[in-house]
Amino acid sequence: MIEENIYKIIIEIWDIIKSFFGSIVFAISVLLYTYLRNKITIFSRFGKSVYSLVTRKKYILFWMDDDIKNSNSFIQCLKNSGMNNFHFRNLILARQFPFYPNSKMFVEGIILISTDVSKLSYDTDARVKIQKRLLYNTIKIYILITLNCKIDKINNLKMK
């Protein structure tokens, strides 16, 4: 009987210790992810900067909220028009912008074609950061934004 109670107490203490260490491991994992995410961005920028210097070509970053085939065909048209002295990068997600150097020494231009500005990011804070980066950089930026309300007005006129 006494041994049974001691065994239950030991099991309860062990469960408390496991949950405590589980919480600590989770907290450390979150902190490491946050720390490493920033380091990965820095290393990525550095690597792309070195690549740009070695090849002596600047980047032109391209993002479109349409089908990837349309983006690729647009880039191919730019290459066919004689713009072969650039590295064109078709970004699938707008969140990939921070992984490229933040200097006009490495990035010649950014082309954004969007029909919905909220697609730049799902997170409002991330959208604000992207907008600030785009607005306050010295990089040449070309933005074509078509608001959904204008598209709706055009569609309504066509239906009448």
Which CATH number characterizes residue 77's domain?
3.40.50
Whether residue 124 sits in one domain with residue 47: no
Whether residue 64 sits in one domain with residue 133: yes
At residue 159, the pLDDT reads 46
Whether residue 73 sits in one domain with residue 131: yes
Whether residue 65 sits in one domain with residue 48: no
Q: Which domain holds residue 39?
A: 1-55
At residue 117, the pLDDT reads 56
At residue 10, the pLDDT reads 80
Whether residue 93 sits in one domain with residue 27: no
Whether residue 91 sits in one domain with residue 45: no
Sign of CA dihedral 127, 130, 134, 137: positive
pLDDT digits (tens, 9 = 90+) for 40-69: 788 888 989 999 999 999 998 888 877 777
Total domains present in the chain:
2
Whether residue 144 sits in one domain with residue 88: yes
Whether residue 50 sits in one domain with residue 76: no
Whether residue 81 sits in one domain with residue 10: no
At residue 50, the pLDDT reads 92
Are 29 and 37 spatial neighbours (Cβ–Cβ below 8 Å)? Answer: no
Which of 39, 55, 71 is where one domain is finished?
A: 55
Compute mean pLDDT per 10 residues along the chain, 160 residues long, and list them.
Answer: 75 82 84 79 87 91 80 82 85 83 85 66 74 56 42 49
Whether residue 159 sits in one domain with residue 89: yes
Whether residue 123 sits in one domain with residue 68: yes
Place of tokens 């099991």: 11
CA 92 → CA 68, 80, 118, distances in Å? 8, 22, 15
